[in-house]
């Protein structure tokens, strides 16, 4: 499961020319737009999990792009299914069935285009603090992920883990999307900053969260609110799912920065076969030898 989540998480760093933001933050915004527009959270969760698994292999080549490039709906679904099938074997069988069943909804979402609440834009702009510790200087690692990307990852990871933990995938998805609503207004100072806020932190977080929930339709706000208690427990299935997704994303993010910092030319040329087999590979290699590379 971990290698699959790692690849899904890399969508925080995949961008395309025709849209603003990473694949992850655009999925975050798309999810909230669908939910505000009245879509069933279970349907949205399954669709975005399918999109994430396909994107883990296809990057920014999504259903809309394939349609715009001239493939028909059946061909698009075939391509997406090939990508999903490379990863779905690591998931619970029920999760795999849900994800596969959601593939047609990537091709024809069938939802109205509605404005997203202001907190969506704010979370896309709000950087994460990264790892901090009391009494120690802040380690700034760039580029920083934003809160939309983190919340998206926790939502998708939670929905993908839910069948293993006995949680409801839709509830896990909603909680992941919403667990940092307070950071739409409150900059992230990290764990060290939270310790300094002390007793002020919890009431401040609650007030800010309630203010953002008020931007949602009443039914959706009530459903999100019902999941929030699980932010502080690891006893219920939802609580265990949420905290597993949250800690996995935080640590995988740090692994990403460490992996990027340690990247070598040998990894590109040997492990990833940057100069790969093809009709002109011998010429490519001759050029590189002549150039001393």
Has residue 266 got a pLDDT over 90?
no
Question: pLDDT per residue over 3-29, tens digit each?
Answer: 999 999 999 999 999 999 999 999 999
DSSP notation for 9-69: HGGGG---TTSSS-HHHHHHHHHHHHHHTT--HHHHHHHHHHHHHHHHHHTT--HHHHHHT
pLDDT tops 90 at residue 258: no
The mean of the pLDDT values for the chain is: 91
The pLDDT of residue 278: 79
* Cα–Cα dist 291/293, whole Å: 5
Say how far apart CA 65 and CA 49 lie, in whole Å. Answer: 18
Considering the four listed CATH numbers 1.10.3210.10, 3.30.450.370, 3.40.710.10, 3.40.50.300, the one that applies to the domain covering 2-262 is 1.10.3210.10
* pLDDT tens string 90-129: 999 999 999 999 999 999 877 777 889 999 999 999 999 8
Which of the two residues, 59 and 286, has the higher pLDDT score? 59
User: d(Cα 81, Cα 74) in Å, to the nearest integer?
Assistant: 10
Give domain limits for the chain: 2-262, 264-293
Question: Residue 127 pairs with which residues in a beta bridge?
Answer: 146
pLDDT (0 to 100) of residue 11: 96
pLDDT at 44: 96
Strand partners, 146: 127
Average pLDDT over residues 155-184: 97
């Amino acid at each position: 499961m971990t290698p699959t989540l790692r690849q899904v998480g890399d969508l925080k760093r995949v961008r395309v020319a025709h849209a603003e933001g990473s694949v992850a933050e655009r999925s975050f915004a798309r999810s909230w737009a669908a939910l505000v527009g009245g879509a069933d959270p279970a349907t949205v969760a399954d669709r975005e999990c399918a999109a994430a698994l396909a994107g883990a292999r296809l990057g920014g080549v999504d259903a809309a792009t394939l349609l715009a490039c001239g493939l028909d709906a059946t061909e698009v679904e075939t391509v997406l299914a090939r990508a999903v099938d490379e990863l779905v074997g690591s998931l619970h069988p029920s999760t795999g069935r849900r994800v596969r069943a959601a593939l047609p909804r990537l091709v024809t979402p069938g939802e109205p285009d509605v404005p997203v609440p202001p907190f969506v834009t704010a979370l896309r702009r709000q950087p994460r603090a990264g790892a901090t510790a009391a009494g120690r200087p802040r380690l700034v690692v760039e580029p920083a992920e934003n809160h939309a990307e983190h919340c998206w990852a926790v939502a998708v990871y939670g929905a993908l883990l839910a069948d293993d933990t006995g949680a409801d995938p839709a509830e896990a998805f909603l909680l992941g999307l919403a667990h940092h609503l307070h950071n739409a207004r409150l900059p992230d100072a990290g764990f060290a900053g939270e310790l300094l806020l002390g007793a002020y932190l919890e009431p401040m977080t609650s007030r800010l969260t309630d203010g953002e929930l008020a931007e949602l339709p009443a039914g959706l706000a009530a459903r999100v609110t019902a999941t929030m208690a699980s932010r502080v427990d690891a006893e219920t299935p939802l609580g265990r799912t949420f905290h597993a997704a949250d800690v996995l994303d935080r640590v995988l993010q740090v692994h990403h920065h460490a992996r990027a910092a340690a990247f070598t030319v040998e990894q590109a040329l040997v492990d990833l076969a940057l100069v790969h087999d093809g009709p002109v590979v011998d010429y490519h290699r001759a050029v590189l030898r002549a150039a001393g590379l």
